[in-house]
């Protein structure tokens, strides 16, 4: 999937992956896509809740080994 910016949230525990995601999105233009890579298992449901509550689109959420990869549209 195409993306405009990547956020490495590996090794960060709750709530930091979502906190950093919000910060990263704030610096991006509307419609741009942010890729987030996290290792915190809780971030899977957190990212979904964040997207729903703030109106960003969670384009995809995948697990690859010990990593969780998300694509969020601003």
Partner 1 sequence: MGAGDFPAGLDEMIAKRVDELVAQKLEQQLAQLQPKKGPPSMTIIATKGTLDWAYPPYILASAGAVLGWDVAVFHTFYGLKLLLKDLSQLQVSPLGNPAMPMKMPFGPQWFRDISWNMPNAIPSIVPGFEAVATSLMKKTFKDKGVASIEELRQTCIEADVKLIACQMTVDTFGFDPKEFIPEVSEYCGATSFLAIAQKADVNLFI
Q: Hey, which residues are catalytic here?
A: 14
**Closest by alpha carbon to 23, among 44, 48, 45, 54?**
54
**25 or 33, CB closer to partner 1?**
25
What are the residue ranges of helices labelled H in the chain?
Answer: 16-26, 43-54
**9 or 33, CB closer to partner 1?**
9
Question: How many residues in the shown chain lie near partner 1 by CB under 8 A?
Answer: 16
Q: Can you tell me the distance from the alpha carbon of 28 to that of 49, in angstroms, rounded to the nearest whole number?
A: 20
**Footprint on residues 12-71 left by partner 1 (CB under 8 A):** 12-16, 18-19, 22, 39-40, 46, 49-50, 53-54
């Amino acid at each position: 999937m195409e993306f405009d910016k990547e956020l490495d949230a590996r090794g960060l525990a709750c709530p930091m992956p979502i906190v950093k995601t919000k910060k990263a999105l704030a610096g991006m233009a509307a419609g741009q896509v942010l890729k987030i890579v996290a290792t915190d298992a809780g971030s899977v449901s957190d990212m979904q809740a964040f997207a729903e509550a703030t109106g960003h689109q969670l384009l995809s959420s995948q697990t690859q080994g010990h990593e969780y990869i998300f694509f969020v549209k601003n």
